[in-house]
Amino acid sequence: MKKLFLALILMATAVTAHAASTNMVVNGSFEATKQGNNSWTIYKDSSAASALPGWTSGKLGIEVRNNAVGKASDGYNFVELDTTGNSFMSQIINHTSSVGSYFLTFDYQNRSSTAFDTNGLSWQFGNVTGVAPSFKDYAWHTFNAKVVGLSGSTELKFSAAGTSDSYGSSIDNVSVKVVPIPGAVWMFGSGLVGLVAAQRRKSNSIVKAV
């Protein structure tokens, strides 16, 4: 019985993990842009040639860097939103279901050799907002947030939140993954409940017979 219970749990976990494997963010690591090594460029929405694929920018644009004032946490490119001043970037996330939880994750770091208070990053996912915790170092940190019950198309937005002076936090490896409650898990759960009940009835009948 214990072995069967463990097998059902492992199968349910595997189904859930598979459902959570797809990143819903377009160009979450900013690798769709060919940014030269040791260089940086500010991309804006003013023309197709200067737009950053997947992202809409504020009027001051999005600064993409490749091995310039730091290195990416994932791939080669990463971005800064305090370009010539505090800016933002956003994109619309198309949800497939309103059932389940949505996990937002991203990596961020303080810009090297800057005062810590000039850095800062805020985020918004639907009607949920927050500020990434501050750290007194220049290492990459990963932020995780769980948002439940979103449906339809929802805006994901990041904004520079430190001093508006062209020196701000870096961001990379943005991900949104949906983890619904798979029908298979409900089936496993229902089957398990029935199996446990049957086992208990069998045990009780054996005791009474003795």
Q: Where are the domains of the chain?
A: 21-180
CATH code for the domain defined by 21-180: 2.60.120.260
pLDDT tens across 109-121, in order?
Answer: 999 999 999 999 9
pLDDT band at 165 (very low <50, low <70, confident <90, very high): very high
* Class of residue 41 by CB neighbours under 10 A (exposed 0-12, middle 13-18, buried 19+): middle
pLDDT value of residue 46:
57
Distances (CA, A) of 144 to 51, 88, 104, 168, 209: 27, 19, 6, 20, 56
pLDDT value of residue 149:
74
pLDDT tens across 171-210, in order?
Answer: 999 999 987 666 544 444 444 445 444 455 554 444 444 4
pLDDT band at 39 (very low <50, low <70, confident <90, very high): very high
How far apart are alpha carbons 58 and 89 in whole angstroms? 6
pLDDT value of residue 122:
98
Q: In what order do the strands lie in the sheet with 39-43?
A: 39-43, 62-66, 77-80, 170-179, 101-109, 141-148
Q: Report the predicted TM-score, pTM, of the whole model to 2 decimal places.
A: 0.77
pLDDT tens across 88-99, in order?
Answer: 999 999 876 666
